[in-house]
């Protein structure tokens, strides 16, 4: 059992996160810290940011954070007040690894989305990158 578990959440993928949370709760000690993380694409990069009005990224972070709170409250068997919800900017695998280190998590529980063998060989999946580079145990739940 772990004191802190990180769960990456992709709100665009229906049906994955609830299964992953169920597994995370099985390995999380009672009273432990469950951290839910969503990574947003890089709006802050100068070339990308120039296409948006000032404050757009901050609004996106607030909106995604609220959607995560609503998702937890409406779809999961936990209270949003009992977990940590983080929204960060960056590539998913890098954001997961960085957050795991910053938050001193003891484990990561994440989904593996179905991809073709060729796709995995050519570009690699987020789950594969996290498994290969994480310094803590990673549980991958097949989607």
**Residue-wise pLDDT tens digits, 60-69:** 889 999 999 9
| Predicted local distance difference test score (pLDDT) of residue 52 | 72
Question: What domains lie within the chain, and their CATH numbers?
Answer: 2-142 (3.40.50.620)
Instruction: Tell me the DSSP string of 68-128.
Output: HHHHHHHHSSS-GGGEEEEEEES-HHHHHHHHHHHTT-SEEEEEE----HHHHHHT--HHH
**Is the pLDDT reported for residue 25 higher than 90?**
yes
Model confidence, pTM? 0.85
Mean pLDDT of 79-105: 92
**Residue-wise pLDDT tens digits, 112-137:** 865 555 544 433 488 889 999 999 99
CA–CA distance from 80 to each of 66, 84, 89, 131 (Å)? 11, 8, 21, 27
| Predicted local distance difference test score (pLDDT) of residue 43 | 65
């Amino acid at each position: 059992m772990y004191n802190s578990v990180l769960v990456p959440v992709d709100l665009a993928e229906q049906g994955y996160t609830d299964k992953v949370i169920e597994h995370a709760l099985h390995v999380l000690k009672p009273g432990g810290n469950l951290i839910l993380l969503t990574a947003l694409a890089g709006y802050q990069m100068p070339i990308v940011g120039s296409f948006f009005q000032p404050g757009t990224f901050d609004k996106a972070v607030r909106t995604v954070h609220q959607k995560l709170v609503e998702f937890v409250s409406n779809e999961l068997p936990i209270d949003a007040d009992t977990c940590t919800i983080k929204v960060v900017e960056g590539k998913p695998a890098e954001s997961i690894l960085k957050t795991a280190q910053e938050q001193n998590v003891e484990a990561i529980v994440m989904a593996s989305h179905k991809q073709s063998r060729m796709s995995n060989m050519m570009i690699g999946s987020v789950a594969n990158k996290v498994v290969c580079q994480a310094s803590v145990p990673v549980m991958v739940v097949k989607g």
